[in-house]
Amino acid sequence: MDESVIVGDGLLPGSYTLAAVVADAADLERLREDLKALTGKGVVRLHWNAESDKRRDQIAQAAAALDIAAIVVVGAPVHRLKQERARRCCLELLLYELDQFGVSRVWLESRAPAQDQRDRRLVDSARGKGLISRELPIDFARPLQESMLWLPDVVAGAATSAALGEPRWLLAMSEIVTIHRVIVR
């Protein structure tokens, strides 16, 4: 699971995009190899913001050909000081959708320790409300440790690019992506 944010500027509200990619556990090693093969020479990981448009075309096409599903939650409006509120709204819905999808483990990209702790509290709250199963494991990792985190970065980046007026990458992945919207209050 990874995020992408369009920060509101006072005149135009932003949005918070949280993406998850679902894959069969038996396919993970092959998918990791496929992802590593997509990195450029001397590059240690895929990162949407660091890629050229030409590379984004290649990456989006490659992602679309993988045996995965992507679930995206877009929260709006988001103002500069409300990003964590938006994350909580999106994360709660995304965890619910993943649990309904039948996933057996969720990996979030680790941020700062205090932010990870806020996410853990939200997970506990979602369990308490019955939104997600108490048995669904939620863990944290960094992209250099877990290359599977590169895929949600790609999907979130493509969704944000579409929101900013460049839809071609999200369109390339349209067969594997489901988008949900939530109003951030």
**Phi–psi pair at 168, nearest 5 degrees:** -60, -35
pLDDT tens-digit series, residues 54-77: 999 999 999 999 999 999 999 999
CA quadruple 51, 172, 179, 66: dihedral positive or negative?
Answer: negative
**Strands 14-22, 2-6: pairing kind:** antiparallel
Angstrom distance (rounded) from CA 112 to CA 100: 28
Predicted structure pTM score? 0.93
Residue 81 has pLDDT above 80, yes or no: no
Instruction: Provide the token pair at 17.
Output: 């995009």
Structure confidence by residue, pLDDT tens digits, 145-173:
999 999 999 999 999 999 999 999 999 99
What is the rounded distance in angstroms from the CA atom of residue 132 to the CA atom of residue 53?
37
CB 10: neighbour CB atoms within 10 A? 7
